[in-house]
Structure 1
Amino acid sequence: MAVRTPDFDVIVIGAGISGMYQLHLLREAGLKVRVLEAGGDVGGTWYWNRYPGARLDSESYSYQYAFTKDLLGEWDWSEHFAAQPELEKYYRTVADRYDLRKDIRFDTRVTAMDFDEDTDDWTVTTGTGERLTAHVVITATGVLSAPIYPRIPGIERFGGEVRHTAQWPREDVTFEGKRVAVIGTGSTGVQVITEIAKTAGHLTVFQRTANWAVPLNNAPLSTEEMAEIRAGYPDMFDRLQKTFSGFLHDWDPRPTTDYDGAGLRDRFEAAYSGHGFSKWIGLPADIATDITANEKWSGFLADKIRERVDDPRTAELLIPDDHYFGTKRVPCESGYYESYNRDNVELVPVRENPIEEITETGIRTSQGELPFDMIVFATGFEAFTGALKRIDITGVGGRTLRKAWEDGPVTYLGVQVSGFPNLFIMGGPHGKGGHGNGPRCAERVLEWMAEFAEHIVTEDIRRVEATPEAEREWSEEVQRRASGGLLAQTKSIYFGDNLEDEDEDGDGGRPRKRVYLAYIGALSEYVERLRTLARTGYPGFRISK
């Protein structure tokens, strides 16, 4: 058997929120680590997504690192829900404080990874052709980091400005006096539409399906409020590990049936005027599981939309008719519905007036061509799997990850795939990150991973590989748990069936198999399963010394 000393004990792919903390933990464990990052600096989501209106919908103070004890005592958040510039500044400050950049290679996109069955190491190839080796590779590429464009004929022909919210330029973009089209009304679309509407000469919003959006109710944080929040950090971080999804808000066990008509209305009004996800994950729990309960809340929200939008027809177009509340990602908004009351804003329902093609000067629909100076694609991401499938990852026997996942992802506990030894996934499919507060859902998993990586390196373990049986059992459990309830009745990023795969000839149009991509259990339950593995010798993994 060949013996070779790899360049690094561990290579981490991605210097976002998870990759930064993973680097810190691995260095603390004494391992030789290199992080490879496609962007020009740290921050991941908050480096790339700099479009107007980009901001948190988790409270800022709940979203920061818990390990940065000294910084927690110094950092003042300016708002309950911080905007992108403040978040980017925060993560850059963390990188400075802990000297993380010295072990990060920026502007370095990973294009391929190959497992060497003789040395049991990975060779990682970058976009420049450079090849680095590591015994363990940890991907921290993110759940929402592989942007997609819609399959519209002529998309490459447009002669004006083209923007994608996930690839926004660092320089200022102005909308003043311009005819702007925004395609997409998901979470990102709701944010960017609200901002563009304020200054555009004319804004046309192309909506495929309406989404249930709820008020963010953001507000500045005073010095006194920040001091009170800071004093409560120990209890807050402890509580965040115990809530269902790592948010400050948690499902209310008291069902809607416990309230009379006026009482339920008061309960809904209190939630509607509260911060962030108090009006989603802070609601009575039966809204997530019972159609009748869900329809009560949906009806309340529909009435709110009608109150806020002046034109009755536009209001009805903005009320979803194809999914229950909470079965798609719920956008939090700050004046989104009022944007449609402006004289310079127009809503085009794509189901009634389909887009046929993009021309050199605009967008042609079934009802004619509309001229534009700029097209903004708020069309989202290939969630959970996209960033990994865009890397040519080849494991044992020449099998690729794309092949392994051609009918949807299979994993063991969301952290490894059978046939790809010594490769671990943080924040990919079947993990908790897709249904919760990102940093809170990641930190205990990253700590578990750092301990496992240290064990692998210090104990001279050659291979760690999920067994096919463990992978099958976990993947089946993920699907089984997601098959009940309202979530399973909707096309969404959680099931991946909102996208199509390319045919063999590259023309597209092949429906994607409906497979649940996230994990629907509680955060504390998921973390405990990983901890149990560590306590009991990592069952479900085949470990070779």
Structure 2
Amino acid sequence: MSASLEASADPGQTLDYDAIVIGAGMSGLFQLLRLREMGMKVRVFEAGTGVGGTWYWNRYPGARFDSESYSYGFSFSKELLEEWNWSEHFAPQPETLRYLNLVADKFDLRRDIQFQSRVAAAHWDEAARTWAVTLEDGSRHVSRFLITAIGVLSAPTLPRFEGMDSFRGLSFHTARWPHEPVDFAGKRVAVIGTGATGVQTIQEVAKTAGHLTVFQRTPNWCAPLHNRKITEEEQARIKADYPTIFQRCQETFSCFLHTPDPRGTFEVSKEEREAFYEELYASPGFGIWVGNFKDTLTDRAANKEISDFVANKIRQRVKDPKVAEMLIPRNHGFGTRRVPLETRYYEVYNQPNVLLVDSKATPIQAITPTGLRTSDAEYDFDIIIYATGFDALTGAFDRIDIRGEGGLTLRQKWAQGAQTMLGMLVEDFPNMFMLLGPHTALGNIPRSIEYNVEWVSALLRHMQARGLTRAEASAQAVAAWTKHVKQIGAGLLTNEVDSWMTGVNRNVEGKETRVIARYSGSAPDYRAWCDRVATEGYRDLALA
């Protein structure tokens, strides 16, 4: 492809690469492989020292899958599926990182990856039809295409507390965990935040910490993970069943092995409902969230039924009634925010060395040299862990100076909310493709990654065959897709709640109000729309 690109380019413009990919996580690795197969000259720029993306950065204790391991790995290589054995139904972070390193080695991907290379800016040159990518070290690289593989939850955010730099002990965000082991034995530890990463961290730190204090602003509904080792017999069955497993993922609403029950909550008796809830609560994985009655996330009365059920489970598991009530959410129903999966998380609060603090009632006022101060008390700590989440969906884009036609920044383009075509293209930003942009189907992320990489690769092959060097989403296609995304989000209880799924992050200026920042329809419907665009010859794009 390089030759055809050069022939069509501005004679005065020299390309360093046919394509630059930002990020060496799962999407970046797979996109690199597909582009290389097309004969492209590709460079992947990765900020870290190794591959893995999410599984490179998030090394906090307890980090692991909450979708079944065998539904999460890559499906494109039968040889890879045969070679790799998942040890647990929900694999821990170190194992997943080993897996992704195996992928990089098996397909010889590292030779096209430049590590410790954070992208600072990417500017479009219309005359030359190229992207100029500048790294933080000042080096500049020119390519025909720019592909972002920067993730949905990859821009960690810290709270804006006074005195954070003054703390004399250890402190870090869960997504910037030290690469060397952290010893909690006998230590006074604070964890700030009780979202998914907070829950996983808390249940592990509590095992060895001298004393653990959890600062909770908003309680979350959690459900049991029910993880266990995979036996040899199960391993053989999984490998034999891989075609069925991945076919199931293609058919379900959000690419998990679970999908909504076709019945409505009140189509069955109260006794049947209770039995069904008990079955889901006792089952592994996300079934209780994405495999519940079909109206759980649209009907308030239905949502109250499951919320009351889980609230009673919390009361049964936490011995102190006051603490149990503190752990029950009051401002949102079950499943309307991302549901953390846990292993004896609630039992942590029965331990004498664990204290739960309501940081909404008694806000944290400042970090001090020896700990932190709330509105009613001072606390001394040896370690402070910030489990304060991410600037989701658009945050990783905001941290790069991306400029399209006429110098328009992506921040300016999305000032009133993201506008995309299929979550993969943006008008006024030609030759830029987003593998996990806002408005794309999420759910079981690797399934989305594989589809989107294949879609982008097919478009580039289409252009390659015709000697085309410029692709841009049309205004009409962007308007149609953005309208569709907003329409299918109507009536969902999740879009009435402040969370990263609605673009809210109080630690980020300008992101205090809700937006429709994600596609909330089914993955099969998403793929059908994308497939139609391709089969119609990409007429929704301006190709030249």
- Shorter-chain TM range is over 0.9
- Looking at structure 2, the residues matched to 69 and 462 of structure 1 have their Cα atoms a distance apart, in angstroms, of 33
What is the percentage of aligned positions where both structures have the same residue?
51
Post-superposition Cα deviations, 1:314-340, rounded to whole Å, max 9, x if no partner, equal: 000000000011111100000100000
Alignment of 1:179-194 (within 5 A): 179-194=188-203
- Looking at structure 2, the residues matched to 450 and 511 of structure 1 have their Cα atoms a distance apart, in angstroms, of 33
State the SS of the aligned residue for 1:358. strand
User: Which deviates further from its counterpart, 168-177 or 469-478?
Assistant: 469-478
Q: Does 1:52 align with 2:69?
A: no
Report the residue type matching 1:476 in the other structure.
K
Q: Does 1:195 align with 2:204?
A: yes
Contact kept, 8 Å, 1:122 with 1:134, in 2: the verdict is yes
Q: Which runs of 4+ in 1 moved over 4 A?
A: none
Change (3 A) 1:201 1:61: same
Residue 404 of structure 1 and its aligned partner are, at CA, apart by 1.1
Contact kept, 8 Å, 1:31 with 1:454, in 2: the verdict is no
Report the residue type matching 1:287 in the other structure.
T
The match for 1:336 among 339, 345, 351 is 345
Report the residue type matching 1:51 in the other structure.
Y
Report the residue type matching 2:314 in the other structure.
I
Change (3 A) 1:499 1:366: closer
The match for 1:32 among 41, 45, 62 is 41
Residue 497 of structure 1 and its aligned partner are, at CA, apart by 2.4
Q: TM-score, normalised to structure 2's length?
A: 0.96
User: Which deviates further from its counterpart, 378-387 or 475-484?
Assistant: 475-484
Alignment of 1:460-471 (within 5 A): 460-471=467-478
Residue 259 of structure 1 and its aligned partner are, at CA, apart by 2.1
Partner of 1:506: none
State the SS of the aligned residue for 1:479. helix
- Looking at structure 2, the residues matched to 164 and 64 of structure 1 have their Cα atoms a distance apart, in angstroms, of 26
Residue 458 of structure 1 and its aligned partner are, at CA, apart by 4.2
- Looking at structure 1, the residues matched to 14 and 170 of structure 2 have their Cα atoms a distance apart, in angstroms, of 49
- Looking at structure 2, the residues matched to 52 and 258 of structure 1 have their Cα atoms a distance apart, in angstroms, of 42
Post-superposition Cα deviations, 1:494-542, rounded to whole Å, max 9, x if no partner, equal: 111233653xxxxxxx563421111011111111211111111213211
State the SS of the aligned residue for 1:469. helix
- Looking at structure 1, the residues matched to 165 and 252 of structure 2 have their Cα atoms a distance apart, in angstroms, of 46
Partner of 2:4: none
Partner of 2:446: 439
Partner of 1:517: 517
Alignment of 1:78-477 (within 5 A): 78-433=87-442, 436-477=443-484
Partner of 1:539: 539
State the SS of the aligned residue for 2:425. coil
Partner of 1:505: none
Change (3 A) 1:526 1:335: same
Aligned-pair RMSD on alpha carbons?
Answer: 1.3
State the SS of the aligned residue for 1:303. helix
- Looking at structure 1, the residues matched to 273 and 502 of structure 2 have their Cα atoms a distance apart, in angstroms, of 32
- Looking at structure 2, the residues matched to 105 and 457 of structure 1 have their Cα atoms a distance apart, in angstroms, of 25
User: Which deviates further from its counterpart, 400-409 or 472-481?
Assistant: 472-481
Residue 8 of structure 1 and its aligned partner are, at CA, apart by 1.1
Contact kept, 8 Å, 1:60 with 1:80, in 2: the verdict is yes
Residue 27 of structure 1 and its aligned partner are, at CA, apart by 1.3
- Looking at structure 2, the residues matched to 18 and 245 of structure 1 have their Cα atoms a distance apart, in angstroms, of 18
- Looking at structure 1, the residues matched to 82 and 399 of structure 2 have their Cα atoms a distance apart, in angstroms, of 40
Post-superposition Cα deviations, 1:351-373, rounded to whole Å, max 9, x if no partner, equal: 21111111111111111211111
Report the residue type matching 1:259 in the other structure.
V
Contact kept, 8 Å, 2:403 with 2:410, in 1: the verdict is yes
Contact kept, 8 Å, 2:489 with 2:521, in 1: the verdict is no
Q: TM-score, normalised to structure 1's length?
A: 0.96
- Looking at structure 2, the residues matched to 498 and 384 of structure 1 have their Cα atoms a distance apart, in angstroms, of 11
Post-superposition Cα deviations, 1:102-121, rounded to whole Å, max 9, x if no partner, equal: 11111111110011121010
- Looking at structure 1, the residues matched to 458 and 237 of structure 2 have their Cα atoms a distance apart, in angstroms, of 34
Residue 307 of structure 1 and its aligned partner are, at CA, apart by 0.6
Contact kept, 8 Å, 2:391 with 2:505, in 1: the verdict is no
User: Which deviates further from its counterpart, 211-220 or 125-134?
Assistant: 125-134
Report the residue type matching 1:316 in the other structure.
E
Contact kept, 8 Å, 1:445 with 1:527, in 2: the verdict is no
Contact kept, 8 Å, 1:40 with 1:107, in 2: the verdict is yes
- Looking at structure 2, the residues matched to 89 and 497 of structure 1 have their Cα atoms a distance apart, in angstroms, of 33
Contact kept, 8 Å, 2:418 with 2:438, in 1: the verdict is yes
Residue 480 of structure 1 and its aligned partner are, at CA, apart by 2.4
Contact kept, 8 Å, 1:136 with 1:453, in 2: the verdict is no
- Looking at structure 2, the residues matched to 372 and 475 of structure 1 have their Cα atoms a distance apart, in angstroms, of 47
Partner of 1:530: 530
Residue 87 of structure 1 and its aligned partner are, at CA, apart by 0.3
State the SS of the aligned residue for 1:147. coil
Contact kept, 8 Å, 1:9 with 1:457, in 2: the verdict is no
- Looking at structure 2, the residues matched to 37 and 66 of structure 1 have their Cα atoms a distance apart, in angstroms, of 24
- Looking at structure 2, the residues matched to 489 and 175 of structure 1 have their Cα atoms a distance apart, in angstroms, of 39
Partner of 2:501: 494
User: Which deviates further from its counterpart, 242-251 or 152-161?
Assistant: 152-161
- Looking at structure 1, the residues matched to 487 and 507 of structure 2 have their Cα atoms a distance apart, in angstroms, of 23
- Looking at structure 2, the residues matched to 34 and 498 of structure 1 have their Cα atoms a distance apart, in angstroms, of 33
- Looking at structure 2, the residues matched to 493 and 85 of structure 1 have their Cα atoms a distance apart, in angstroms, of 26
Post-superposition Cα deviations, 1:32-75, rounded to whole Å, max 9, x if no partner, equal: 11111111111111111010000000000000110121121122
Post-superposition Cα deviations, 1:73-126, rounded to whole Å, max 9, x if no partner, equal: 122111100000110011111111111111111111111001112101001111
Contact kept, 8 Å, 1:240 with 1:440, in 2: the verdict is yes
- Looking at structure 1, the residues matched to 424 and 512 of structure 2 have their Cα atoms a distance apart, in angstroms, of 23
State the SS of the aligned residue for 1:276. coil
